[in-house]
Amino acid sequence: MECLHLADAVKLTAEQLDVKFDACHVCKATDSLWLCLYCGVVHCGRYVNQHGVQHYETNQDHSVCLSCENFSIYCYICDEYVTNDNQESKLEQFITTLKKHNQKRTCVEEINSTCKRLKGGPRFIGLRNLGNTCFMNAVLQSLNMISEFSRFIRQLPPTLFSTKSPQSGQRRYNTRSSSGQQDGYLVEELRKLLMELKESDNLAVSPDSFFNCIWRVVPRFRGFQQQDAHEFMRYLLDRLHSELLELAAVENAKRTKQTIVTKMFGGMLQSVVHCLVCGGKSVKFDPILDLSIDIPDRFVSRNCKKDGPACNLNDCLKSFTETEELEETELYFCNHCKERKKSTKKFSIRRLPRVLCLHLKRFRWNLHCRTKLDTWVQFPLQGLCMNEYLVASEQNRQQDFIYDLAALIVHHGSGSGCGHYTAYGRHDGDWFHFNDSSVTLCSEQIVAKSRAYILVYVRSNH
């Protein structure tokens, strides 16, 4: 977006720029460094130790900063990334100066990264931001951390996506109901992208082919405006499922209802509605690929004290499965009473998936605008037990459902249509932070104190 604060907030000149910085001025952290364009001091970002935010809060004129990693410009007042420049083209000058300095350092980093890979050490590759595509990058990196899922997609045979049937040799003709049509298969673009993330020697790769396919198959994601990461994840999984079903039918000449998507992410939700007049009940079962859960009001109310108890993920899950009385506008039509009556509703989980995606509903409509809940929710990195949220018949089984966190997505910023998405992922006990092109090793403490938007758990004892 165009920022109106550049004239007041950008006082630094390219000649005054100190390009020898390598750590936060306060805590000496080396991750996510931001240069204040008013005074030239470097601080760490809001998802490290938040010294950049604190610097702005102390000095309100120091609102515009520049990322030392990907050279994006951010304004704290607008709470959005900046796309325009001032009359003197200062921002362009800053970026040019920093890029020249970073060329030598980047070359050294690439050599070190290649050497580390040759020695067998873990190495992860970033995804370039194509213009507000951080929502997509965060989702893709999170799915890539689910090893069984990413391995399955990578191992799909390229011949599966050819225009000829591998069995008959006859040319395939996509109908209007086909997922592929003439737009190409999204699952094929995902396969190629995951292969790049696995095999490339670069520090970052561009997901442009994948994103172009997204543009073709779903108009709502066209353009470069910020999108919701959860909506994108839901659409992506649904689309992959439908395409894999279609491809399986062509490959095996028979219909199937299961794909890797439903095998890993698919669960079953049970809802029971009780009529409070006659006692009748209605039971429904709905397939799910994730759970969207509210943050309880008692943790987001303005009357809550800052030193009160922190919200825990189990508080959100218990609130989701508690019995609630339906409001007047949602009254249940009782088949016995033959009219709408007061009733209660209760959700339970009938079947848990192998990969449990929990979406914390941080965006709410308030009068005429959509606001964000920035409440911190504690979540376990390991050992999340889901037994108590199952239906009673499943709880009686001598089996525990224990999950470990594999990845999470964080939304930084205050608005639903702006801000920035990053992801964290775990590999062999180490945690990595994925911020578009940048991938850095981080501690469990940093992960645990993040304000998660989507949590991706994998069952550890199946």
Establish whether 134 is a catalytic residue. Answer: yes
Chain centroid to Cα 329, Å, comes to 33
Q: Determine which of 133-137, 199-203, 366-370, 448-452 has the lowest per-residue pLDDT on average.
A: 366-370
Q: Are 389 and 369 in contact (CB under 8 A)?
A: no
Q: Which of 36, 134, 311, 334 is catalytic?
A: 134
Paired residues of 12 in beta bridges:
none
Establish whether 420 is a catalytic residue. Answer: yes
Alpha helices in 268-356 (DSSP H): 313-321
Query: Comparing 221 with 207, which gets the higher pLDDT?
Result: 207
Paired residues of 441 in beta bridges:
432
In the predicted model, is pLDDT for residue 283 greater than 50?
yes
Cβ density class 39-77: b for 16+ within 10 Å, e for less = eebbbbbbbbbebbbebbeeeeebbbbbbbbeebbbbbe
pTM, rounded to two decimals: 0.74
Q: Which of 68, 420, 433, 442 is catalytic?
A: 420
Distance CA 302, CA 183 (A): 49
Q: Please write the tens of the pLDDT for every residue from 209-263.
A: 898 888 888 877 776 777 899 999 999 999 999 999 988 877 665 667 899 999 9
pLDDT-derived band of residue 74, with 50, 70 and 90 as boundaries? confident
Paired residues of 458 in beta bridges:
355, 404
pLDDT for the residue 96: 78
